[in-house]
C-alpha cells in the first residue's frame, strides 16, 4: 500500500446493469476502509444509480446518460466532451474500473487519476493495458462479489465486512404501507414478493408454472402474493399473461414502480421468489430470504448474496 500516496478522491467505475452495480458494494467498502479519509465517486449507467443512492460509502454519483448514444454523431461527441471534462474536474487520485470494457478504460485514463486499477484479463483493443497503471488477474470461477473484492485485495485494499448495503427511503416505505392497506394487505400481514421476469426472458419460468405457484401460495398456504414487474413492454406482457392464468390474482405493480419502492416491498415481504434478476439481488441486500430459479446463468457466479457471508463460499 506504500505505493498509493495522498489518496483523497477515488473514482469507482461500474458501467453495467443494476445487479452488477449492487454487487460492487463490498469492494467499494474495501476502498473506503483502506482510505477512510478519501471521498468516493461512483460512475454508473443511467438507471442503475438507485443501487448506490443514499448509502454511506458513496459520496457522489456520476451518471452516464446512455440515451445520448442514440443521438446524432455530433450530439454524442458533444456529450462525450462534456462528460470527460466532468471527470477531469473531479481531480481524482485513483480510478478503479470494475467494468473491464473499452469505454470505462478510456474514462479511467481520461479522468487524470494518478493510479488507475483494472483487470488484466478483460480483453479489448490493442494497447488497452497502457491505460491502467495497475492491472491484476483474478479468479473468474468465483461469485461476482468475490471477483470484485479480489481485484482490490491484490491492490492491497481489504475489508472483513462483505455485506451489501442498500438504502430504502422512509417515504417509499410509507407509500408501500398505505398502498398495500388500500389493496387489502394490512400492516403486519404476511406476504410473498414474486418478481417473475428478467430483462432476458430466456431466464424466466413458464407462465403456467408461475401462475400455479401464485395460486398455491394464496390458496393452500393462505399467504398473499405481491407481484412486481419492470416497465419493459416484453416483461409487462409476460407478467400480464401470468396474472391472467391465476385463479386468484395477486396484488400487482406492473411497470409502475421504482427500484426503491420495489426494495421496500422486498424488505417487508416474508419471502422473495423470482429468477436471476436485479430484484433478486435487491431482495437479498435487504435481508429477505430468497428463492430463485437459475437457467442459463450460473448461480455460483450470480446467486443471491448472503449478507452474513464468510470467505469460504458464494452466497445463494
Residue 3 in this model has a pLDDT that exceeds 80:
yes
Query: SS3 of 144, please?
Result: helix
Q: Are 101 and 66 in contact (CB under 8 A)?
A: no
Q: What is the mean pLDDT of residues 92-110?
A: 96
Residue 248 in this model has a pLDDT that exceeds 60:
yes
What is the band of 124 on the pLDDT scale with cuts at 50, 70, 90? confident
Q: How far apart are the first and last CA of the chain?
A: 33
What is the band of 296 on the pLDDT scale with cuts at 50, 70, 90? confident
11 φ, ψ to 5°? -105, 120
CATH class of 170-302: alpha beta
Q: What is the mean pLDDT of residues 118-144?
A: 92
Q: Tens digits of per-residue pLDDT, 191-236?
A: 999 999 998 899 999 999 999 999 999 999 999 999 999 999 999 9
Q: What is the pTM of this model?
A: 0.92
pLDDT for 310: 56
Across the chain, what does the average pLDDT equal? 94
90 φ, ψ to 5°? -75, -20
Q: Tens digits of per-residue pLDDT, 44-92?
A: 999 999 999 999 999 999 999 999 989 999 999 999 999 999 999 999 9
In which residue ranges of the chain is CATH 3.40.50.2000 found?
A: 9-154, 170-302
pLDDT for 309: 66
What is the band of 152 on the pLDDT scale with cuts at 50, 70, 90? very high
Q: Which element (helix H / strand E) includes 269? A: none
Instruction: Tell me what percent of the residues of the chain surpass a pLDDT of 90.
Output: 88
pLDDT for 314: 39
Q: 42, 77, 84, 90: which is closest to 63 by C-alpha?
A: 42
Tell me the CATH number for domain 9-154: 3.40.50.2000
Q: Are 171 and 264 in contact (CB under 8 A)?
A: no
Q: What is the mean pLDDT of residues 16-26?
A: 97
Amino acid at each position: 500500500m506504500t505505493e498509493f500516496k495522498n489518496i483523497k478522491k477515488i473514482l469507482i467505475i461500474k458501467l453495467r446493469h443494476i445487479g452488477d452495480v449492487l454487487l460492487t458494494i463490498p469492494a467499494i467498502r474495501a476502498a473506503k476502509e483502506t482510505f477512510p479519509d478519501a471521498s468516493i465517486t461512483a460512475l454508473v449507467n443511467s438507471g442503475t444509480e438507485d443501487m448506490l443512492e443514499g448509502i454511506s460509502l458513496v459520496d457522489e454519483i456520476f451518471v452516464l446518460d446512455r440515451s445520448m448514444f442514440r443521438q446524432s454523431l455530433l450530439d454524442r461527441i458533444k456529450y462525450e466532451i462534456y462528460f470527460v471534462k466532468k471527470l477531469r474536474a473531479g481531480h481524482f487520485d485513483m480510478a478503479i474500473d470494475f467494468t473491464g470494457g473499452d469505454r470505462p478504460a478510456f474514462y479511467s485514463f481520461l479522468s487524470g487519476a494518478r493510479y488507475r486499477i483494472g483487470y488484466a484479463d478483460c480483453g479489448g483493443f490493442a494497447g488497452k493495458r497502457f491505460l491502467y497503471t495497475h492491472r491484476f488477474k483474478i479468479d473468474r470461477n468465483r461469485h461476482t462479489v468475490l471477483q470484485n473484492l479480489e481485484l482490490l485485495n491484490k491492490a492491497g485494499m481489504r475489508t472483513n465486512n462483505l455485506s451489501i448495503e442498500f438504502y430504502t427511503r422512509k417515504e417509499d416505505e410509507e407509500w408501500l404501507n398505505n398502498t398495500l392497506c388500500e389493496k387489502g394487505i394490512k400492516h403486519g400481514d404476511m406476504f410473498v414478493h414474486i418478481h417473475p421476469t428478467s430483462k432476458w426472458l430466456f431466464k424466466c419460468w413458464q407462465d403456467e408454472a408461475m401462475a400455479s405457484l401464485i395460486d398455491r401460495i394464496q390458496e393452500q398456504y393462505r399467504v398473499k402474493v405481491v407481484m412486481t414487474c419492470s416497465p419493459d413492454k416484453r416483461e409487462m406482457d409476460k407478467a400480464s399473461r401470468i396474472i391472467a392464468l391465476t385463479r386468484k390474482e395477486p396484488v400487482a405493480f406492473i411497470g409502475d414502480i421504482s427500484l426503491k419502492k420495489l426494495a421496500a416491498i422486498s424488505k417487508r415481504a416474508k419471502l422473495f421468489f423470482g429468477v436471476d434478476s436485479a430484484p433478486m439481488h435487491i431482495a437479498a441486500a435487504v435481508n429477505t430470504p430468497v428463492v430463485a430459479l437459475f437457467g442459463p446463468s450460473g448461480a455460483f457466479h450470480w446467486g443471491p448474496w448472503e449478507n452474513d457471508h464468510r470467505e469460504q463460499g458464494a452466497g445463494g
